[in-house]
Amino acid sequence: MIHETAQIHPSAVIEDGVKIGANVKVGPFTYIATDVEIGEGTEVMSHVVIKGPTVIGKDNRIFPFAVIGEECQDKKYQGEATRLVIGDRNVIRESVQIHRGTTQDKGVTVVGHDNLLCVNAHIAHDVVVGNHTHIGNNSILGGHVTVGDYAGVMALSAIHPFCTVGAYSYIGGCSAVVQDVPPYVLAQGNHAKPFGLNIVGLQRNGFEKPELHAIRRAYKEIYRSGKTLAEVKLVLAEMAKDWPSVARFSEVLENSERGIIR
Protein backbone atom coordinates (compact mmCIF):
# COMPACT_ATOMS: atom_id res chain seq x y z
CA MET A 1 0.00 0.00 0.00
CA ILE A 2 1.47 3.31 -1.10
CA HIS A 3 0.01 6.50 0.35
CA GLU A 4 -1.37 8.90 -2.20
CA THR A 5 0.99 11.69 -1.08
CA ALA A 6 4.13 9.59 -1.54
CA GLN A 7 6.45 10.67 -4.37
CA ILE A 8 7.87 7.64 -6.20
CA HIS A 9 10.27 8.14 -9.10
CA PRO A 10 9.11 6.21 -12.21
CA SER A 11 12.36 4.25 -12.38
CA ALA A 12 12.08 2.95 -8.79
CA VAL A 13 11.07 -0.72 -8.38
CA ILE A 14 8.53 -1.29 -5.60
CA GLU A 15 7.40 -4.88 -5.08
CA ASP A 16 3.93 -5.92 -3.97
CA GLY A 17 3.33 -5.86 -0.25
CA VAL A 18 5.40 -2.74 0.48
CA LYS A 19 3.80 -0.15 2.78
CA ILE A 20 4.85 3.44 2.13
CA GLY A 21 3.52 6.22 4.36
CA ALA A 22 2.46 9.79 3.71
CA ASN A 23 4.92 12.22 2.12
CA VAL A 24 7.60 9.58 1.61
CA LYS A 25 10.02 10.26 -1.25
CA VAL A 26 11.65 7.43 -3.20
CA GLY A 27 14.37 8.39 -5.68
CA PRO A 28 15.37 6.96 -9.07
CA PHE A 29 16.63 3.39 -9.48
CA THR A 30 15.83 2.44 -5.90
CA TYR A 31 14.65 -1.12 -5.23
CA ILE A 32 12.28 -1.93 -2.35
CA ALA A 33 11.41 -5.59 -1.86
CA THR A 34 8.24 -7.01 -0.40
CA ASP A 35 7.60 -6.96 3.38
CA VAL A 36 9.06 -3.49 3.87
CA GLU A 37 7.26 -0.70 5.73
CA ILE A 38 8.43 2.93 5.48
CA GLY A 39 7.02 5.59 7.80
CA GLU A 40 5.76 9.00 6.80
CA GLY A 41 8.14 11.76 5.84
CA THR A 42 11.10 9.46 5.14
CA GLU A 43 13.28 10.24 2.14
CA VAL A 44 14.87 7.34 0.27
CA MET A 45 17.27 8.70 -2.32
CA SER A 46 18.53 7.13 -5.54
CA HIS A 47 20.06 3.65 -5.93
CA VAL A 48 19.04 2.40 -2.47
CA VAL A 49 18.24 -1.28 -1.84
CA ILE A 50 15.78 -2.13 0.94
CA LYS A 51 14.80 -5.73 1.70
CA GLY A 52 12.56 -7.19 4.35
CA PRO A 53 11.15 -7.98 6.71
CA THR A 54 12.12 -4.39 7.56
CA VAL A 55 10.29 -1.57 9.34
CA ILE A 56 11.59 1.98 8.90
CA GLY A 57 10.10 4.78 11.00
CA LYS A 58 9.31 8.43 10.30
CA ASP A 59 11.41 11.28 8.91
CA ASN A 60 14.53 9.28 8.13
CA ARG A 61 16.93 10.25 5.34
CA ILE A 62 18.55 7.38 3.44
CA PHE A 63 21.30 8.39 1.02
CA PRO A 64 22.36 6.75 -2.27
CA PHE A 65 23.71 3.20 -2.43
CA ALA A 66 22.70 2.28 1.11
CA VAL A 67 21.71 -1.38 1.52
CA ILE A 68 19.07 -1.80 4.20
CA GLY A 69 17.68 -5.11 5.50
CA GLU A 70 19.83 -7.45 3.43
CA GLU A 71 20.48 -10.96 4.75
CA CYS A 72 23.45 -11.17 7.07
CA GLN A 73 26.96 -12.51 6.46
CA ASP A 74 26.77 -15.10 9.24
CA LYS A 75 27.50 -18.58 7.83
CA LYS A 76 24.83 -20.04 10.10
CA TYR A 77 22.13 -18.00 8.41
CA GLN A 78 19.87 -20.24 6.31
CA GLY A 79 17.34 -17.76 4.97
CA GLU A 80 15.16 -17.48 8.08
CA ALA A 81 12.64 -14.63 8.20
CA THR A 82 14.55 -12.40 10.59
CA ARG A 83 13.89 -8.66 10.86
CA LEU A 84 15.33 -5.16 10.88
CA VAL A 85 13.67 -2.32 12.80
CA ILE A 86 14.78 1.29 12.31
CA GLY A 87 13.30 4.16 14.33
CA ASP A 88 12.70 7.81 13.48
CA ARG A 89 14.82 10.75 12.29
CA ASN A 90 17.93 8.77 11.46
CA VAL A 91 20.42 9.94 8.84
CA ILE A 92 21.81 6.95 6.93
CA ARG A 93 24.54 8.12 4.61
CA GLU A 94 25.97 6.73 1.37
CA SER A 95 26.76 3.00 1.14
CA VAL A 96 25.76 2.19 4.71
CA GLN A 97 24.86 -1.50 5.17
CA ILE A 98 22.41 -2.66 7.84
CA HIS A 99 21.71 -6.41 7.99
CA ARG A 100 18.78 -8.30 9.48
CA GLY A 101 19.17 -10.48 12.58
CA THR A 102 19.69 -14.21 13.02
CA THR A 103 17.67 -16.88 14.77
CA GLN A 104 20.75 -17.69 16.86
CA ASP A 105 20.16 -14.43 18.74
CA LYS A 106 17.20 -12.05 18.96
CA GLY A 107 16.21 -12.49 15.34
CA VAL A 108 16.19 -8.72 14.87
CA THR A 109 18.63 -5.88 14.29
CA VAL A 110 17.53 -2.59 15.89
CA VAL A 111 18.51 1.00 15.15
CA GLY A 112 16.83 3.55 17.43
CA HIS A 113 16.09 7.23 16.86
CA ASP A 114 18.12 10.31 15.86
CA ASN A 115 21.28 8.46 14.87
CA LEU A 116 23.89 9.50 12.30
CA LEU A 117 25.34 6.56 10.39
CA CYS A 118 28.16 7.93 8.27
CA VAL A 119 29.44 6.81 4.87
CA ASN A 120 30.01 3.05 4.51
CA ALA A 121 29.27 2.21 8.14
CA HIS A 122 28.42 -1.46 8.59
CA ILE A 123 25.74 -2.54 11.08
CA ALA A 124 25.87 -6.33 11.30
CA HIS A 125 23.23 -8.85 12.34
CA ASP A 126 21.57 -8.66 15.77
CA VAL A 127 23.18 -5.31 16.56
CA VAL A 128 21.29 -2.90 18.83
CA VAL A 129 22.05 0.79 18.27
CA GLY A 130 20.45 3.16 20.77
CA ASN A 131 19.46 6.79 20.23
CA HIS A 132 21.49 9.89 19.31
CA THR A 133 24.60 7.91 18.39
CA HIS A 134 27.28 8.80 15.84
CA ILE A 135 28.70 5.90 13.86
CA GLY A 136 31.61 7.22 11.80
CA ASN A 137 32.77 6.60 8.23
CA ASN A 138 33.79 3.00 7.50
CA SER A 139 33.10 1.88 11.07
CA ILE A 140 32.17 -1.74 11.65
CA LEU A 141 29.78 -2.99 14.31
CA GLY A 142 30.21 -6.77 14.39
CA GLY A 143 27.35 -9.13 15.03
CA HIS A 144 25.50 -8.89 18.36
CA VAL A 145 27.13 -5.56 19.31
CA THR A 146 25.21 -3.10 21.50
CA VAL A 147 25.82 0.66 21.27
CA GLY A 148 24.31 2.79 24.03
CA ASP A 149 22.58 6.16 23.72
CA TYR A 150 24.70 9.19 22.80
CA ALA A 151 27.78 7.03 22.14
CA GLY A 152 30.24 7.84 19.36
CA VAL A 153 32.18 5.32 17.27
CA MET A 154 34.54 7.28 15.08
CA ALA A 155 35.83 6.60 11.58
CA LEU A 156 37.55 3.33 10.68
CA SER A 157 36.88 1.75 14.07
CA ALA A 158 35.84 -1.88 14.47
CA ILE A 159 33.78 -3.29 17.35
CA HIS A 160 34.24 -7.03 17.96
CA PRO A 161 31.10 -9.20 17.99
CA PHE A 162 29.22 -9.38 21.30
CA CYS A 163 30.89 -6.23 22.67
CA THR A 164 29.01 -3.36 24.29
CA VAL A 165 29.81 0.31 23.76
CA GLY A 166 28.34 2.11 26.75
CA ALA A 167 26.12 5.18 26.74
CA TYR A 168 27.91 8.52 26.29
CA SER A 169 31.22 6.77 25.56
CA TYR A 170 33.47 7.83 22.69
CA ILE A 171 35.61 5.52 20.57
CA GLY A 172 38.41 7.39 18.83
CA GLY A 173 39.14 6.83 15.16
CA CYS A 174 40.93 3.71 13.88
CA SER A 175 40.30 1.79 17.11
CA ALA A 176 39.81 -1.95 17.55
CA VAL A 177 37.44 -2.67 20.43
CA VAL A 178 37.59 -6.29 21.64
CA GLN A 179 36.03 -5.87 25.11
CA ASP A 180 33.18 -3.85 26.55
CA VAL A 181 33.62 -0.08 26.84
CA PRO A 182 31.94 1.24 30.01
CA PRO A 183 29.62 4.23 29.76
CA TYR A 184 31.12 7.72 29.68
CA VAL A 185 34.61 6.41 28.82
CA LEU A 186 36.93 7.80 26.16
CA ALA A 187 38.72 4.92 24.44
CA GLN A 188 41.15 4.56 21.57
CA GLY A 189 43.78 2.24 20.14
CA ASN A 190 44.39 -1.28 18.90
CA HIS A 191 43.38 -2.84 21.15
CA ALA A 192 41.33 0.04 22.57
CA LYS A 193 42.25 1.26 26.06
CA PRO A 194 40.55 3.79 28.35
CA PHE A 195 41.87 7.35 28.29
CA GLY A 196 39.63 8.99 30.86
CA LEU A 197 36.08 10.25 30.53
CA ASN A 198 34.21 11.79 27.61
CA ILE A 199 33.84 15.04 29.54
CA VAL A 200 33.09 17.21 26.51
CA GLY A 201 30.32 14.87 25.40
CA LEU A 202 28.83 14.76 28.89
CA GLN A 203 28.86 18.54 29.22
CA ARG A 204 27.22 18.94 25.83
CA ASN A 205 24.44 16.62 26.97
CA GLY A 206 23.60 18.50 30.14
CA PHE A 207 25.64 16.77 32.86
CA GLU A 208 26.34 19.26 35.67
CA LYS A 209 29.53 19.49 37.72
CA PRO A 210 28.34 17.54 40.81
CA GLU A 211 27.28 14.62 38.62
CA LEU A 212 30.50 14.79 36.62
CA HIS A 213 32.47 14.63 39.86
CA ALA A 214 30.54 11.50 40.89
CA ILE A 215 31.19 9.87 37.52
CA ARG A 216 34.88 10.77 37.78
CA ARG A 217 35.09 9.19 41.25
CA ALA A 218 33.45 6.03 39.88
CA TYR A 219 35.92 5.92 36.99
CA LYS A 220 38.84 6.19 39.43
CA GLU A 221 37.41 3.35 41.51
CA ILE A 222 37.40 1.10 38.44
CA TYR A 223 40.69 2.08 36.85
CA ARG A 224 42.96 3.65 39.47
CA SER A 225 42.05 2.35 42.93
CA GLY A 226 43.86 -0.99 42.65
CA LYS A 227 40.78 -2.75 44.00
CA THR A 228 39.36 -5.95 42.61
CA LEU A 229 36.21 -5.65 40.52
CA ALA A 230 34.27 -7.36 43.32
CA GLU A 231 35.38 -4.60 45.70
CA VAL A 232 34.65 -1.91 43.15
CA LYS A 233 31.11 -3.21 42.64
CA LEU A 234 30.35 -2.65 46.33
CA VAL A 235 31.63 0.93 46.21
CA LEU A 236 29.69 1.74 43.05
CA ALA A 237 26.49 0.27 44.49
CA GLU A 238 26.71 2.73 47.38
CA MET A 239 27.48 5.65 45.08
CA ALA A 240 24.56 4.78 42.80
CA LYS A 241 22.13 5.41 45.68
CA ASP A 242 22.91 9.13 45.38
CA TRP A 243 23.88 9.22 41.70
CA PRO A 244 21.78 6.98 39.41
CA SER A 245 24.14 7.76 36.53
CA VAL A 246 26.82 5.75 38.36
CA ALA A 247 24.54 2.70 38.16
CA ARG A 248 25.48 2.42 34.47
CA PHE A 249 29.00 1.46 35.57
CA SER A 250 27.57 -1.18 37.90
CA GLU A 251 25.43 -2.64 35.12
CA VAL A 252 28.33 -3.15 32.73
CA LEU A 253 30.51 -4.71 35.42
CA GLU A 254 27.69 -7.06 36.37
CA ASN A 255 26.61 -8.06 32.87
CA SER A 256 29.78 -7.99 30.79
CA GLU A 257 30.48 -11.24 28.95
CA ARG A 258 33.83 -10.25 27.44
CA GLY A 259 35.12 -8.11 30.31
CA ILE A 260 35.78 -4.38 30.14
CA ILE A 261 38.70 -2.61 28.48
CA ARG A 262 41.58 -2.16 30.93
- Catalytic center residues: 125-126, 143
Of 94, 120, 124, nearest in space to 109 by CA: 124
Of 42, 93, 46, 51, nearest in space to 70 by CA: 51
Contacts of 131-137 with CB under 8 Å at 24 or more apart are 131/87, 136/173
What gap in Å lies between CA 59 and CA 102, rounded to an integer? 27
Of 83, 198, 80, 77, nearest in space to 134 by CA: 198
By 3-state DSSP, what share of the chain in percent is helix, strand and coil, each rounded to 5?
20, 30, 55
Question: Is 118:140 a contact under the CB 8 Å cutoff?
Answer: no
The SS3 assignment for 177 reads: strand
